[in-house]
Structure 1
Amino acid sequence: MTETSSSVPRRLRGRATGVAVAGLALALAAPVAATATAGQAGAAADPVSVLKFKAQERKEALAYWTPTRMKAVGKSVDLGPTGPKAKPWRGTTLKTVGRLFFVNAGGADTWCTATAVKSANRSAVMTAAHCVRRGSSPYNTNISMVFVPAYHKGKAPYGAFAVRQAATPRTWQTDSTNDMAALVVDAGKNGKKLTDAVGGQQVAFNRPVGGTISSFGYSATRPQLGEEPLRCVGTAKKEHGSQVIPCDMSGGSSGGPWLADFNATTGKGVLVSVNSALDSLEPTKMYGEAWKGTAKKVYDRAQNA
């Protein structure tokens, strides 16, 4: 992902532009960057790149992302009107889906969308790799990351969960390919682990592309401006080595879940991908990676951390 001026970082992949969004550009003292866990020698053989955040960094992240700051980052961006394909979600509360707040590598307050998933450690979250670090740039990583499930118009009913580890495919770090990530979060308020508090979506890998997909995201389009989730519904198709659905969500929806077999009553489905990039020439097409073996390894690294 390359950063543009104003407040919208974009990721280019052929005709597609990434859908992360940055808000207020702030002058910040540079915190200690997260560090890769693998040594230089072992890194080449490891298909997964892992970042870890120290306990003090996580504490500072929770203190940094006050309710006022969360509201402010949304108000700083307006990417045009919502829809017509993306519509506000008015169904059951999506407890597993939330906003992922962070400070990007350029020093700007930023958000993406992310999803709590079933995992061995009950603490795993799935999102896009460009919500964790810039592609093809090993040292440009995001910091001060917190996940706020079920965020809605300034309310955080389950609190904020600090990210302690972030795994991406190494190919994203080196070549900007395979845009997905799995995070591990600390326990939240009252010491409750994430999926004990909000539940988790089932995750599938090597699933054939196709079928009806419900995609969700906190798009920076108006009037929502990231304050409530939007939904797109459409049939997934193969395209350019990944998959695509009809959707016009924009910045801020990056990392939002693609749920197959979605049950609108329970808010549950099967996570098969995440929002990765919006086609710049046809801004009604949203791309998501087809999750295969490497994606499974990224997920396993997170769920077993």
Structure 2
Amino acid sequence: MARTLVTTLVTALAALGGLAIQPSPATTGSAGSGAAVAQVRARAEASPLMRPGQAVRYWTPARQAEAGATPLPATRPPLVPASASRLLSVPDGKRITPGGDANGYARVRRPYTGAARSRVTGRLFFVNSGGQGDSCSASVVRSASGLLVATAAHCVYSVPEGAERGRWHSHFAFVPAYDGRATDERQREPYGRWGGRRAWKPGAYTGLAGGDWNSVYDFALIEVGRRERTLQDAVGGALTPLRSQGGWHTVIATGYPGVLGRKPYDGRDQLWCLARTQPARALTAVNAATVPAAVPAAGPAGKLETYNCHLSKGHSGGPFVVKGTRDLVGVLSAGTEDGEADGYSVANALNVESYGVIVGEADPRGVYDALSITATGPTGPVRRGRTATVTATVTMRGLLAAAQVPVTFRVPDGAAFTALSGADCARTARQAACAIDTVRPGHPVRLTARVRLTADAPRQVPVTAHVAATRLDPSRRDNTAVARLPVQG
């Protein structure tokens, strides 16, 4: 996490002059092709409306048993060191899952209804764009509607063999806590079968197997049909989307690898893997002959890689959850098949460029990235030459959590910062930049700044605190706060 903090702090310090964070590349563009790229990145695309009941009826237990698993992305990112060819699967020294197998995975304890993480994770069945029964993994994600499921974009959209354009998959049916070994249907589908109503993906995701299957845009949301109660209520909760650009995390990957005939990788068992992530390197393997010029190559931001776990087909779209929390930091996107000698897997982070592009369309009533800040200081006067404490409180009023949140402070001539606490901070005499590890809904984070007044301090000293906003924030008027210190003596 340290290098992520350094990058965040440097960015925040660079912005201190105007107390403003530079716009994301996803929201800016230059003339010509640059503007076209920005428009592609910022657009959400939605599938045609579907009939949830039709999908529920279609995916009988017999069809579920015959469902295949979505193939892994064909473009391999340059993540594997040359020495990897000498490795066999995940080496013993990199397997950190208790009881993990050669791929780093272990079976989740049954019944899957017994733990929050396994309840909200399920198997996603669908008919792919080529007309074949297929499956991925997915999870219930917190939303205002209570009906959203998060997965990978290649689990909802692809370019069929021989076709020039991508097509949406159809007949989506999400089965939370699916247990394919159970003989009783109520145990196999403890929360029922939830038919998809609509799916969304970023416009920059084209579905081209030789192009962007492992891009930062490989993320999708599916809205399931409403019943007497919402999906979120039925499973007793949801994962909280964690806005980030990837980075260093300890995560639990959960899902349903679906290689028929390869127990426990045949789609009937929910598996999990403990992993330590790092930012993935830039992905440069883009087929220039097939990828439209307006679709940018994926960069290093927004992806997490781990060498502790293999990715097996069918596990695509499964959640990366920060250990000890319900924070969904990414969904599985790319990697190597189990049994290969260079095991790794890659997940896409839920950043503004992917998740942020589509969540407003998928859940229009939801308020998501709504950070605010307040600042308070001593009520009585502070003598010149003395030190005062200012407290800044950062609150998330939206439905998601945010990682590495930049907070900046500034004081005018006549005052200087002597210390800051509550986050990782870098400071000069009159400016400071901090990075809060995580801000979660309902859990405000407090930072304190010690400010010393000089002998020539004015009668009133303003201490300005600012928390960075994204374009998902519906109002930025509460992103800056000022504590005014009365001065005497």
TM-score scaled by length of structure 1: 0.74
Deviation, 1:69, is 1.4
| Structure whose alpha-carbon radius of gyration is higher | 2
The correspondence for 2:251, drawn from 202, 213, 235, is 213
1:282 Cα shift?
Answer: 5.0
Q: Give the Å deviation of 1:238.
A: 1.1
One of 216, 220, 227 as aligned partner of 2:268: 227
Please give the alpha-carbon distance, in whole angstroms, between the structure 2 residues aligned to 1:124 and 1:243: 23
After superposition, what is the alpha-carbon deviation per residue over 1:236-293, rounded to whole angstroms, capped at 9, x for unaligned? 1112222102212411101000001335xxxxx2001111011367542001123321
- Structure 1 residue 53 corresponds to structure 2 residue 49: yes
Contact 1:48 1:298 in 2 (8 A): yes
1-side partners of 2:342 and 2:233: how far apart?
37
**Alignment size in residue pairs:** 250
* CA deviation string 1:190-231 (max 9, x = no partner): x22100111211111125511201001101253121011111
Distance 1:152 1:54 in 2: 26
Partners in 1 of 2:364 and 2:141 — Cα distance? 13
How big is the shift at 1:151?
0.3
- Please tell me the residue identity of whatever aligns with 2:305: V
Matching residue's letter, 2:332: N
Q: Equivalents in 2 of 1:113, 1:289: separation in Å?
A: 14
| Corresponding residue for residue 291 of structure 1 | 350
Relative contact order (alpha carbons < 8 A, sep ≥ 6): 1 or 2 greater? 1
CA 1:60 to 1:258, structure 2 compared with 1: closer, same or farther past 3 Å? same
Decide whether the 8 Å contact of 1:273 with 1:290 is kept in 2: yes
Deviations 1:126-146, CA, capped at 9 Å, x for gaps: 000000001696542211111
In structure 1, the residue matched to 2:334 is: 277
The match for 1:83 is: 101
Given the superposition, is the C-alpha separation of residues 208 and 59 from structure 1 closer, same or farther in structure 2, using an over 3 Å criterion? closer
1:169 corresponding residue in structure 2: 202
1:140-191 alpha-carbon deviations (Å, 9 max, x no partner): 2211111111101250011111111111111112763311111111124xx2
- Secondary structure of residue in 1 paired with 2:55: helix
**Identity %, equivalent residues:** 28
Determine the structure 2 residue equivalent to 1:143: 170
1:180 aligns with 2:214: no
User: Which letter maps to 1:303?
Assistant: D
Cα RMSD between the aligned structures? 2.6
Q: Residues of 1 paired with 2:41 and 2:108: CA distance?
A: 43
**In the aligned structure 1, how far is the partner of 2:168 from the partner of 2:252?**
29
Secondary structure of the corresponding residue to residue 57 of structure 2:
helix
Change (3 A) 1:144 1:208: closer
The Cα offsets for residues 20-77 of structure 1, whole Å up to 9 and x where unpaired, read as xxxxxxxxxxxxxxxxxxxxxxx8585211113233xx332111101221123269x9
The code of the aligned residue for 1:61 comes to A
Amino acid at match of 2:177: A
Other-structure match for 1:300: 360
Structure 1 CA distance for aligned equivalents of residues 128 and 246 of structure 2: 34
Contact 1:217 1:249 in 2 (8 A): no
Structure 1 residues 207 and 294: alpha-carbon distance in aligned structure 2, compared to 1, 3 A threshold: closer
Question: In structure 2, what is the equivalent of residue 250 of structure 1?
Answer: 312
Counterpart in the other structure of 1:17? none
Q: Which amino acid aligns with 1:50?
A: A
1:283–1:54: structure 2 CA closer, same or farther, 3 Å change rule?
same
Aligned twin of 1:130: 154
Query: What's the secondary structure of 1:171's corresponding residue?
Result: coil
